[in-house]
Amino acid sequence: MILFLAYSAVLLSFASGGVAIAHLQFPNVQKKSVFWLLGTSGLMAIFAGLGELIYPEIRLDTLNLGLPWLPWHVHFDGLSAFFFLIIGIAVFAVSLYAPHYTHHEQKDAQGFAVLSLFTGLFVAGMMLVLLADDAFMFMIAWELMSVASYFLVAFQHENPANRRAAFLYLLMAEVGALLIILAFGVVASFADGFTFDALRASTIPTTWMSIAFVLALMGFGMKAGLVPIHVWLPEAHPVAPSHISALMSGVMLKVALYGLIRFCFDLLPEVHWQWGVVLLIVGTISALSGILYAMMQQNLKRLLAYSSVENIGIIVMVLGLSMIFLANHQNELAALALLAALFHAFNHALFKNLLFLGAGMIHHQTHELNIDMLGGLIKRMPKTSVIFLIGCMSISSLPLFNGFVSEWLAFQTALQVDVLDNAVLRSLIPVSAAALALTAALAAACFVKVFGLIFLGVPRSRHAEKAKEIEDKGMLAAPAMLAFLCFFFGIFPSSILHLIDNVAKQLLGSNLPAQASLSLFSLAPVATQNASYSAPLILIGAVCAAGVCFWLLTRNSETTMRIAPTWDCGFGGLTPRMQYTSSAFTMPLRRIFATAFLIDEKVEKTMRENTKLNVADVRYTLHIQDHCWVRVYQPIERGVNVVAKQVGRIQTGNIRTYLGYSLATLILLLWVVSL
């Protein structure tokens, strides 16, 4: 039954793509049905995921697809189901949001068909990755996901910058896929067959296991966006339509994490603490540099993309903790770390989806994504602003919202290091916890900037001034639903943590520590006397305190508020340009962390009448580049170009030379055959 739901989710998303094509031929087919099918697919995925999580059981199946002697093996266990749930929620939200968001694209029948077809394929591909039980099917589904999303990134291909971003994405996706194939290949060469069962049963030397781990980390990390292989993310996310970037950032990155978890925790026969340390370090670097770069961005979607790098970093860091605990036979703590990592993945899917959809709403109403051109939207788009504020509060991990709970769990896990014997680990983990604290604080600063500059203050451009609230119900309902979920899982986190605990049980064979309690009102991950967090009580306390204080202060009717113009220090003429801009807001942090960026800052002054003091005009330009791009990618690019030039020498353009090459090849082959 549950497997049937999962299959129908996949088929429905295929069908939604198919209907879009059918619409080209038969105009009778309603465009709306595309979104209906996609939404139903999302719902089915939610049901399938929840069903499996509530009644955990490993469900297996074989499909006679693909090559005749290599059928597709399908499985559906807790881990797959959990990620199915994430996909389901995101796809459902997108299906509510997209009908109005894409109404421009819908005017162009062909463009709309392309967009819908590849959206359907993309979603189906992601679901199939989760269902795969052999390396063969896994890679086919993986490629379906990558290639379909390439076409979505390249959707607005009229702009050369978009084509460049899409090509970069495709290139990195394919290199990543190659690495994953190699990783599977390494394990498969010690196993008999490509099924996951065979891979699990393989006996593989430690060296080769470590090689497979590194390959998998690079392959999946390239998709997930770990530093330094994250550069496609900030390029590709801003150019795709917003609901697609929401899916890519909220869900596809999670699928890559699924791959990493499946490969390391499930397929490889054992884990080593050294790998955990690698994950911990890579995750910490990703988290810190992700948020530092996010802070410096002016384009909202680019900023959100960098913030995804940060969050993926946090998740990988906590996965590293889990691996360290697992290798030290602390299975209960490993389960706790896995719980924190998966819950953060879930939360990130919710709020990042919400923020990307919010970015789409802002762009839809103002045609502007540059933070420095917005402002004052809280009065013009009140509903959107509340929804977006909840997203910002969740991602800044403020108490009462879901982001806080997962970070709190991560801290709790990191503080359990005293059980480890290795002193290096015991000092390394708290340091990374402190880096996590820095990341969280910087994220709060970053999203104060985002919300403050976009929604508060005075509009900085005409577009922002003329902006109106979104009227379409679906387009508001989708992010509103996600905002509600962010709040709900912030107050009652145990409702989902129970389900994730089942995943940990299936994967690691161990639940949370015995004294832990996940009751509805209080959360105690290790033991009640060690740490507890009770969001409902805090909420009640907060409402009471704020209520009493509000009642006491507003009783006196003589003190009703008076509205007056802003005080301009007596000089007059306050203009919107006097407000802080994005680069002004982040200037202190840019200066403090100057070594983390490649900053190109120029101030050009033109003087009036050749005097030295009388400035006529000032031009300020600021350009911030990613270290990785200059230090890693440009040398590689130059290297490839040099090699290509050398190889190009054999191409003389003369037909006789080419005939000579053919002859030489033929003789070589004959010689090989004769051996």
Site for other proteins in 437-496 (CB under 8 A): 437-438, 440-442, 444-445, 448-449, 451-453, 456-458
Of 329, 494, 481, 475, nearest to 406 (Cα)?
494
Q: Which one of the spans 76-84, 186-194, 237-245, 409-417 is the region binding other proteins (CB under 8 A)? A: 409-417
Coil/strand/helix, residue 58: coil
Check binding of 431 to other proteins (CB under 8 A).
Answer: yes
- HSE, CB side, 13 Å, CA atoms: give it for residue 198: 17
What letters, b where the CB count within 10 A reaches 16 and e where it falls short, cover 257-275? bbbbbbbbbbbbeebbbeb
Tell me the C-alpha distance between 254 and 293, whole Å: 21
Check binding of 434 to other proteins (CB under 8 A).
Answer: yes
- Judged by beta carbon, residue 186 or residue 393, the one nearer other proteins is 393
In the complex, least distance from residue 400 CB atom to other proteins, rounded to whole angstroms: 8
Report residue 505 as tokens.
């049980």
Tell me the C-alpha distance between 205 and 208, whole Å: 6
Tell me the C-alpha distance between 81 and 44, whole Å: 12
Which residue in 558, 604, 609, 617 binds other proteins (CB under 8 A)? 558
Which residue in 28, 207, 471, 561 binds other proteins (CB under 8 A)? 561
Contact 354, 483 (CB under 8 A): yes
Check binding of 430 to other proteins (CB under 8 A).
Answer: yes
Check binding of 584 to other proteins (CB under 8 A).
Answer: yes
Of 429, 572, 589, 406, nearest to 489 (Cα)?
406
- Judged by beta carbon, residue 115 or residue 280, the one nearer other proteins is 280
In the complex, least distance from residue 571 CB atom to other proteins, rounded to whole angstroms: 12
Report residue 357 as tokens.
């959809």
Check binding of 587 to other proteins (CB under 8 A).
Answer: yes
Q: Rg of the Cα trace of the chain?
A: 27
Check binding of 514 to other proteins (CB under 8 A).
Answer: no
**Binding to other proteins, residues 535-554 (CB under 8 A):** 537-538, 541-542, 545-546, 549-550, 553-554
Which residue in 333, 579, 624, 626 binds other proteins (CB under 8 A)? 579
Tell me the C-alpha distance between 283 and 534, whole Å: 29
Tell me the C-alpha distance between 202 and 157, whole Å: 46
Check binding of 273 to other proteins (CB under 8 A).
Answer: no
Check binding of 427 to other proteins (CB under 8 A).
Answer: yes
Which residue in 211, 574, 628, 632 binds other proteins (CB under 8 A)? 574
- Judged by beta carbon, residue 231 or residue 454, the one nearer other proteins is 454
Which residue in 107, 329, 591, 645 binds other proteins (CB under 8 A)? 591
In the complex, least distance from residue 174 CB atom to other proteins, rounded to whole angstroms: 38
Q: Which one of the spans 33-41, 85-93, 322-330, 397-405 is the region binding other proteins (CB under 8 A)? A: 397-405
Binding map of other proteins across residues 518-537, x = CB under 8 A, - = no contact: ----x-----xxxxxxx--x
In the complex, least distance from residue 585 CB atom to other proteins, rounded to whole angstroms: 5
CA separation, residue 669 to residues 539, 659, 665, 672 (Å): 77, 15, 6, 5
In the complex, least distance from residue 143 CB atom to other proteins, rounded to whole angstroms: 41
Of 360, 349, 454, 442, nearest to 397 (Cα)?
442
623 bridge partner residues: 600
In the complex, least distance from residue 202 CB atom to other proteins, rounded to whole angstroms: 36
Which residue in 32, 164, 383, 426 binds other proteins (CB under 8 A)? 426
In the complex, least distance from residue 339 CB atom to other proteins, rounded to whole angstroms: 16
Tell me the C-alpha distance between 116 and 38, whole Å: 9
Contact 442, 291 (CB under 8 A): yes
In the complex, least distance from residue 619 CB atom to other proteins, rounded to whole angstroms: 20
In the complex, least distance from residue 438 CB atom to other proteins, rounded to whole angstroms: 4
- Judged by beta carbon, residue 554 or residue 657, the one nearer other proteins is 554
Q: Name the strand (E) or helix (H) holding 223.
A: helix 206-224
Q: Which residues contact 636 (CB under 8 A, 6 or more apart)?
A: none
Check binding of 594 to other proteins (CB under 8 A).
Answer: no
**Binding to other proteins, residues 343-382 (CB under 8 A):** 375-376, 378-379
Which residue in 137, 417, 476, 483 binds other proteins (CB under 8 A)? 417
In the complex, least distance from residue 563 CB atom to other proteins, rounded to whole angstroms: 5
Tokens 């680069």, located at residue: 583
- Judged by beta carbon, residue 373 or residue 417, the one nearer other proteins is 417
Coil/strand/helix, residue 259: helix
Eight-class DSSP state of 623: E
Q: Which one of the spans 43-51, 235-243, 430-438, 485-493 is the region binding other proteins (CB under 8 A)? A: 430-438
Which residue in 167, 580, 597, 633 binds other proteins (CB under 8 A)? 580
If one counts every other C-beta atom within 10 angstroms of the C-beta of residue 375, the result is 22
In the complex, least distance from residue 455 CB atom to other proteins, rounded to whole angstroms: 8
CA separation, residue 297 to residues 261, 291, 437, 450, 585 (Å): 31, 10, 21, 10, 11
Eight-class DSSP state of 652: -
Check binding of 572 to other proteins (CB under 8 A).
Answer: no
Question: How big is the chain, counted in residues?
Answer: 675
Q: Which one of the spans 119-127, 131-139, 576-584, 609-617 is the region binding other proteins (CB under 8 A)? A: 576-584
Binding map of other proteins across residues 186-215, x = CB under 8 A, - = no contact: ------------------------------
Contact 326, 336 (CB under 8 A): no
Contact 574, 568 (CB under 8 A): yes
Question: 228: cis peptide before it, omega within 30°?
Answer: yes
Q: Which one of the spans 100-108, 413-421, 629-637, 656-664 is the region binding other proteins (CB under 8 A)? A: 413-421
Check binding of 328 to other proteins (CB under 8 A).
Answer: no
If one counts every other C-beta atom within 10 angstroms of the C-beta of residue 94, the result is 27
If one counts every other C-beta atom within 10 angstroms of the C-beta of residue 292, the result is 21
**Binding to other proteins, residues 134-173 (CB under 8 A):** none
In the complex, least distance from residue 372 CB atom to other proteins, rounded to whole angstroms: 12
Of 251, 213, 225, 323, nearest to 92 (Cα)?
251
Tell me the C-alpha distance between 219 and 225, whole Å: 10
Q: Which residues contact 446 (CB under 8 A, 6 or more apart)?
A: 291, 294, 295, 303, 307, 396
- Judged by beta carbon, residue 531 or residue 596, the one nearer other proteins is 531
- Judged by beta carbon, residue 566 or residue 614, the one nearer other proteins is 566
509 in the Ramachandran plot: left (φ > 0), alpha (ψ -120 to 50) or beta?
left
Q: Which one of the spans 20-28, 313-321, 398-406, 486-494 is the region binding other proteins (CB under 8 A)? A: 398-406
Check binding of 411 to other proteins (CB under 8 A).
Answer: yes
Tell me the C-alpha distance between 164 and 175, whole Å: 17
Check binding of 396 to other proteins (CB under 8 A).
Answer: yes
- Judged by beta carbon, residue 427 or residue 652, the one nearer other proteins is 427
Count of positions on this chain that bind other proteins (CB under 8 A): 84
- Judged by beta carbon, residue 165 or residue 467, the one nearer other proteins is 467
- Judged by beta carbon, residue 259 or residue 459, the one nearer other proteins is 459
Q: Is 27 exposed, middle or buried (0-12, 13-18, 19+ CB in 10 A)?
A: exposed
In the complex, least distance from residue 485 CB atom to other proteins, rounded to whole angstroms: 20
